[in-house]
Amino acid sequence: MEPSTEVVTARPAPMLAAFIDSYVGYRVPGLAAGLHRGLPSAYMTFIISIGPTIDVVAQTNPQQSPAEYRCVLSGLQASTALIAHQGYQEGVTVGLTPLGSRVLFGVPAAALWDTSVECSEVVGPVGRELWEQLQELDSWPDRFAACDRILTRIAYPDRLVGPELTMAWRTLVGSGGTLAVGPLAEEIGWSRQHLARRFNNEFGLSPKLAARIARFERARRMIQRIPSHVSIAQVAAACGYYDQAHLNRDFAELAGTSPTAWLAAEVPSVQDRERAAG
């Protein structure tokens, strides 16, 4: 990472902590212009740009046109977006789990599945207010405080996801995608079919796909941090893949490339630092 790069992490206000893991502020200058891959994750995409807009040149859903965003909000996804940059990136990433979609935006995460929007399209003028305030503030603590202040103002704690689905999401993701759906449904007290239907209606994807994405995300983070003497086959085994071929297949389908090609091309990810801090 370049010496001038800044990555600063902070916890959200207590009222937001149940569904926002952290804020991460990033300032990344001095890169060659290029493309960044926005990969599937167990987090929704919620990024407030500072300075240059977020230029999505290929959406996860090919039927959605490319667009530029000041404050981008996306649901969960099972494919890759391509974001162009001109060598400078700055903003705040909000580590939002899909459990917070109803609380902050009044809709289940499923309503935003595989879709990117300007935040103001969902929450109205307050979305633009959030972006404008961060442009006017210079320090990371002040920027994080503005996020706390505005997001707390629009949060409605009585719109929480039900306890069974909350437990299902946290258990599935907390296992790194290694927990089978059957035992999870049994623990909750629902049939597999009922769990799958309710889960999909709330989050936009099946429990099986959510587990696959959680396993992929864990492997991706590990690959980015492993020392040279650790092989990708060892990562695959540690993350619950049958073998390296299965990990390679998930990368091809979810990231659109191989693990080694992704690692060689990708710039340091502020999202990974956010997850590590959590």
Tens digit of pLDDT for each residue in 32-75?
Answer: 888 889 999 999 999 999 999 999 999 999 999 999 999 999 99
CATH tag, 163-265:
1.10.10.60
pLDDT of residue 3 exceeding 60: no
Tokens at 143, concatenated: 């920027």
The percentage of the chain sitting over the pLDDT mark of 70, rounded to a whole number, equals 95
**6-159: CATH topology:** Jelly Rolls (2.60.120)
- What pLDDT was estimated at residue 220? 93
pLDDT digits (tens, 9 = 90+) for 197-249: 999 999 999 999 999 999 999 999 998 888 777 889 999 999 999 899 999 99
- Going from N- to C-terminal start, the domains of the chain cover 6-159, 163-265
pLDDT greater at residue 95 or residue 28: 95
- What pLDDT was estimated at residue 1? 46
Q: Which residue has the tokens 């961060």?
A: 134
- What pLDDT was estimated at residue 225? 83
pLDDT digits (tens, 9 = 90+) for 174-187: 999 999 999 999 99
pLDDT of residue 170 exceeding 70: yes
pTM: 0.90
- What pLDDT was estimated at residue 227? 77
Contact predicate 31/87, CB 8 Å: yes
To the nearest 10 degrees (0 to 180), the angle between helices 270-277 and 207-225 is 100
Of 21-30, 98-107, 113-122, 269-278, the least confident: 269-278
- What pLDDT was estimated at residue 10? 97
